[in-house]
Amino acid sequence: MELTPRLHTIAQQVPQGAVLADVGTDHALLPVWLLLEGRIPSAIASDLREGPLSRARETVEQHGVAERVSLRLCDGLSGIQAGEADVVSIAGMGGETIAAILEQAPWTRENTLLLLQPMTSFPDLRQWLQGNGYTVEQETICQEGSRMYTILTVRGGQDSPMTPAELWVGRNRPQPLRREYLSMMKGKVRRALEGQRASANPDQSTMEQLEEVLGGIEDMEKELKV
C-alpha cells in the first residue's frame, strides 16, 4: 500500500506505538498503512457518513486488519472518548470544520497529540487554536503535484500570540518548501486583495488587514534569506 505525499507526511508524525484516532477517515488509508508498517498497535477510524465508512471497512478487510481498527460512524470526535487515543488526526477538511470538531471535544487539550491538515480557512483555525488553549508545536509543509499542504502538530497549552501574517502562514521556521509555501500563500493574499479592490464595495478594514499580512509574509521571505 502506498500513501500519497500528504498522508505520508502525516503518518511520519505519528509516534511509534501510539493509538491513532483518524477522524474523517474516508478510505482509512492512514490508519491501515500505519498498522501494516507496524507503527501503531490499533486505531479508531471514524467518519460522519456511511459511504466513506464503508470504504474504510473495505480497506481494513482487504488488508486483514479489521480486528485492530474500530470503525465508528459519528460526527467529529463525538463517538470517541477521552483516553481512547494518544493521537488524533483530522485531515482533508476545512479549517472551520476542524475547529468545530475540537470545540466539541475539550479532552483533546489533555495528553493528546493532534495532527491537523486543513484545506481552507488557515487563519481561522490558527486563531481558534490560539484562543482555545492549544499550541502549534510544529508545521510541516508537503507538496502533492502542484498543491502544497501544511500539517499542524498541536497539543494543549498556551501559545504566544501570532501576528496577522503568522495566522495565515504559520511561524517562520526554516524547513524545506518554506520559501515555495510563502510564495504560494503570498499569491493567495494578493488575489484576495485584488478581489477587494475590484469589488463595488471594497471593505477598507479587510484590505488593510490583507496588506499587513502581505507585508508580514514579505518580511518572512527576507528573514529566510539571511
H helix or E strand, kind and range, residue 88: strand 87-93
Cβ 112 vs Cβ 134: under 8 Å: no
List 35, 45, 101, 189, residue binding ligand SAM (CB under 6 A): 101
Binding residue count for ligand SAM, defined by CB under 6 A: 17
91 binds ligand SAM (CB under 6 A): yes
Exposed / middle / buried, residue 158 (Cβ in 10 Å: 0-12, 13-18, 19+):
exposed
Residue 131 CB, shortest distance to ligand SAM, in Å, is 20
Residue 47 CB, shortest distance to ligand SAM, in Å, is 5
79 binds ligand SAM (CB under 6 A): no
Whichever of 97 and 150 has its CB closer to ligand SAM, that residue is: 97
Stretch that binds ligand SAM, among 45-53, 125-133, 160-168, 185-193 (CB under 6 A): 45-53
Residue 164 CB, shortest distance to ligand SAM, in Å, is 28
Cβ 32 vs Cβ 38: under 8 Å: no
List 9, 59, 70, 97, residue binding ligand SAM (CB under 6 A): 97
58-91 residues labelled b (16+ CB within 10 A) or e (exposed): ebbeebebeeebbbbeeebbeebeeebbbbbbbb
List 9, 24, 71, 122, residue binding ligand SAM (CB under 6 A): 24
> For binding to ligand SAM (CB under 6 A), which residues are involved?
7, 23-26, 46-49, 52, 75-76, 91-93, 97, 101
